[in-house]
Structure 1
Amino acid sequence: MSPWLQLAAAGGEAAGGAHGAEEGAHVVFHLFGLPVHESIVTMWIVMGILILFGVLAARSLHQVPRNRFQTAVEWAVDALYGFVADIMGRERARRFTPLLGSFFLLILLSNYTGLLPVLPHESWFQPPTSRWGVTGGLAIFTFVAVQAYGLAHHGLGYFRRFLEGPVFLWPLTVPLAVIEELIKPFSLSLRLFANIFGGEAVLSGLLAAMPWLVPAGVMFIEVIAGFVQALIFTMLSALYIEAATAEFHHEH
């Protein structure tokens, strides 16, 4: 059976909706008594690929590029640095591009694992970003990083960012500001999860109905969508860090 027919055969179940997908989750093995689901296994594989790529790239670096591989790596790093610099300036981009670039590459590769014709339907394999637990973990890490960078930059004065408006309104505005800050990771995780899971469900449903007519076109759309979602997550994370580390300008 061809890979596309295998994908189409499995597509009917995936098109059933989020509830059906969650029921399909299962434990691959236990580690120190803790269950490890297939999305975590896939995430570890993606992380291993990125680490291996980074090691290979670092070993072949020269002052002047001598091969296309180093040229491509330098182009990608420059592109990520330029993207972050446009958001928070060159000085802070030097500090935060490694973190934000890692976010982008990890999410991008995780998104693209769902486009493989056979592996996404193996019992040990699941696109990580199609699980809310994974996207939620990434968003929580972003939230913690934002607060840590804000505190490191401003000290305890960082909490002044929650004191907006006249003092007599603080009992109302401070809780709202805190709720807004807590909503940010929720919106990050939900946006990424919903788009990737929705794309997986649509792709599987269409492949089940017309396995020979739509794969190329739908997969092209999913390639673009996976890139855009990784870019949006990275951009919003950069904006949150930029806001947390910016200088405050309160009127007195």
Structure 2
Amino acid sequence: MRWKFPAGALLALAFLIPAAPAVAHIESPGLNEACQTVERKVYKDIRELVTIDLDTATDQEVRVLAAQILAAANADSLPVLPGAIQDALKGTEDELRAFLKTGVQNAWSTALRITVVRTLTDAGANVEAAAQKVLGEATVDAYLAYLNDGLYAARELDCASQPTPTPTAQPTPSATPSATTTAVPTPTVSGSPGAPGGDGGEGGGLPVTGADTATVAGIGSVLLLLGGAGYLIGRRRRSRFVA
């Protein structure tokens, strides 16, 4: 008979029924690929969740255990394993028990191996050497030890060997004004006639030119003509008087 438990109900049961007791501890921070201090990601050992005898456990206990392992695999963002568990939950109770006995171990090992390989992207020399060693051992315990501790120790060595960046010298401010500086015009002395301190000497006036000069010349010419006419009239009168 196939069970029709929704995935949400299975996860709820997984948290209602306690798993194996675990000792709470705080992991020290580690370094990421960019040599920045981050919180360590600790991968769960799912073998600690198996606290029942799969041969004698009830069908409900078997399904709750499968849901607990699925929740741990999703929390660790593992590949392969979550899909394998979901497929097993769709089968019969006997198929699920058989998967939890042997199949889950194989899927989990494959998931951890893939996770180790992913750490080789842009890895330093120490991380690469540590990962290759673990991949050669090919055991679940070696994978977990590397992912939880060895990876961070190797990163510390790689980050410590990187050269310290030289601080960039700051440019010295130039005293030359920029091209956008607005030039302030120099005030000039007014040359208006009669203004004190002008160019016309102590009198302060400028030479009269233009229309004013023409007027003065015209008046002078008229005066000369009048003077000449007066002279002629006076001479004629004198001549008559003598005669």
Per the shorter chain, which TM-score range?
0.3 to 0.5
- In the superposition, the TM-score normalised over structure 1's length comes to 0.32
- In the superposition, the TM-score normalised over structure 2's length comes to 0.33
Greater RCO (CA < 8 Å, at least 6 residues apart): 1
